[in-house]
Amino acid sequence: METLLEIKDLSVYYGVIQALKGISFHVNKGEVVALIGANGAGKTTTLHTLSGLIQADKGSITYKGQELTKLAGNKIVSLGMAQVPEGRRVFAQMTVLQNLKMGAYTRKDKAELEETLKTVYKRFPRLEERKNQLAGTLSGGEQQMLAMGRALMSHPEIILMDEPSMGLSPIFVNEIFSIIEDVNKDGVTVLLVEQNAKKALSIANRAYVLETGSIVKEGDAKELMNDESIKKAYLGE
């Protein structure tokens, strides 16, 4: 399998606190890889470091053979990596369509852009119905769809998703997860950070367990789902 993203010995400090303690993991092309762990384990820090929002203090991040640790966030997006941030972060005062177009700011080809927009609308019919509505007036689930649609507008090869199910009703959680599976089937690689470990493991190929800045377990997602210590700590069983 071709490795798309490789993280080696990644360390991040917030002042004197070490948030990531030399973690290493990889994501192969075409996979869904889940990063699970309790609040404060370092999951969001990991994603922010990968997408250039936080500088790594040590270690390397290689994407398609290119070192990312010194690159600016917008450069990383143009290489084919998009992030769906925690808490959705839609532009509340802009319309749905304007939000989607913001996702494509690194792309110049107008015709291609229209094609991508059609694809996004096909996947999220609700967004097309509400394209002229202000994003701030959408429900939580619809905002999550908008955040995902916006990320897909950059035509990414890999998408980093930070807590996509947070704060959503169970019905929307199921919908969001089935969309993630569809996006993956269409050839987009997914790195998924998620507190709903059961849901994450149910759609992932492989998973890593993060505890206080260290990876303590890794393996096939289905196997981890049956692991007694994981069941107890994360699956509420």
Domains in the chain with CATH codes: 3-234 (3.40.50.300)
Per-residue pLDDT of the chain (237 residues; tens, 9 = 90+): 899 999 999 999 998 999 999 999 999 999 999 999 988 899 999 999 998 889 999 999 999 999 999 888 878 888 999 989 887 789 999 999 999 998 887 677 778 888 889 999 999 999 999 999 999 999 988 999 999 999 999 889 999 999 998 888 888 899 899 999 999 999 999 999 998 899 999 999 999 999 999 999 999 999 999 999 888 888 876
Beta-sheet strands, E only, within 29-132: 32-36, 58-63, 66-67, 81-84
Q: Cα angle at 130 between 125 and 133, to 5 degrees?
A: 160
Q: Which residues of 182-198 are buried (b: 16+ CB within 10 A; e: fewer)?
A: ebbeeebbbbbbbbbbe
